[in-house]
Amino acid sequence: MSSITKPWDARYLGPVPHDASYYAKCMLGGVLACGITHAGITPLDVAKCNMQVNPAKYKGLVPSIKTLVAEEGSRGIWKGFGPTFVGYSLQGMFKYGLYEVFKDTYMNLAGQENSEKYKPLIWLAGSASAEVFADIALCPLEMAKVKIQTSPTGTFPTAFGAAMKEMSRTKIETRFPFGSLVPLWSRQIPYTMAKFFFFEKIVQLFYTHVFPEPKDTYSKTTQLGVTFASGYLAGVVCAIVSHPADSLVSQLSKASNKGKSVGTIASEVGVMSLATKGLGTRVIMIGTLTGFQWWIYDSFKAAMGMGTTGGK
């Protein structure tokens, strides 16, 4: 009696099947990874956004934070905490959860041989697809966050609810809720493609050259150490790749740029300025952020018995 061979399916390659419960847990892991980390570095984000919008006044991370505290008190460096936490929680839910969905889908469409041969392309396609939806969820809250963080003291509400209400009231001039979606896509899609591609690639290199035994033979501590190191290194690349578009998103909220097109703003500010202003701060911010995001995400997956991400 001949045995029936089951067709190859990417959803059954890991330690547990990738079913609806698995994807839901990945979404929750993404909420924890992105919401907590982005909200936790709000002071760095406030300083970075103001350095991009008003470089004559804000000339470095520490001087910018000192200026903000001097003018607005300690609350000044936590402006935008609410929309940051909610917005990036939603973004993380779709970014990580849908990445797992799209990666499995594209692997199955490609088949066993091609999914192995073109693995980097699948990482890129999966992360880009996920980020399209993640940014739609993030955009209204990101617009409110940047407006809160870069408006001169007393000219715009800083409370979450009041800020969202004011953005909606002035939606013709602020282009709320999706006026920044294209710049956001131009920033976040390359960022996320780099984030997931370089993370997966660096993890693969670790488990090929540094820890060459099967991944599951190493302790969870070792695996999560590889996760953090790979995430940090990937984050540095991400910061450099996406910084010009990040600067544009900040410039769009500036009062003097109201009504101007993205192209006009880019030509006025200059490509070099867009690519470099606030970059050092953002490299520190995004490297640390990405390292901890991947560590939180994989810690959650490991605790759920789902295994860590990536490998040979």
- Tens-place pLDDT, residues 257-309: 777 777 787 787 787 888 788 788 788 878 888 999 999 999 999 999 999 99
The candidate with the shortest Cα–Cα distance to 209, out of 201, 198, 217, is: 201
For 288, how many CA atoms within 13 A lie in the half-sphere containing its CB? 13
pLDDT of residue 279: 84
Q: What is the pLDDT of residues 203-222, one digit of tens each?
A: 999 999 999 999 989 999 99
Q: What is the pLDDT of residues 14-41, one digit of tens each?
A: 889 999 999 999 999 999 999 999 999 8
Q: Can you list the domains of the chain with their CATH numbers?
A: 14-303 (1.50.40.10)
The candidate with the shortest Cα–Cα distance to 100, out of 195, 213, 23, 215, is: 23
CB proximity list for 224: less than 8 A, separation 6 or greater: 295, 298, 299, 302, 308
Average pLDDT over residues 148-164: 92
d(CA 123, CA 125) in angstroms, rounded, equals 6
Q: What is the pLDDT of residues 109-146, one digit of tens each?
A: 999 999 999 999 999 999 999 999 999 999 999 999 99
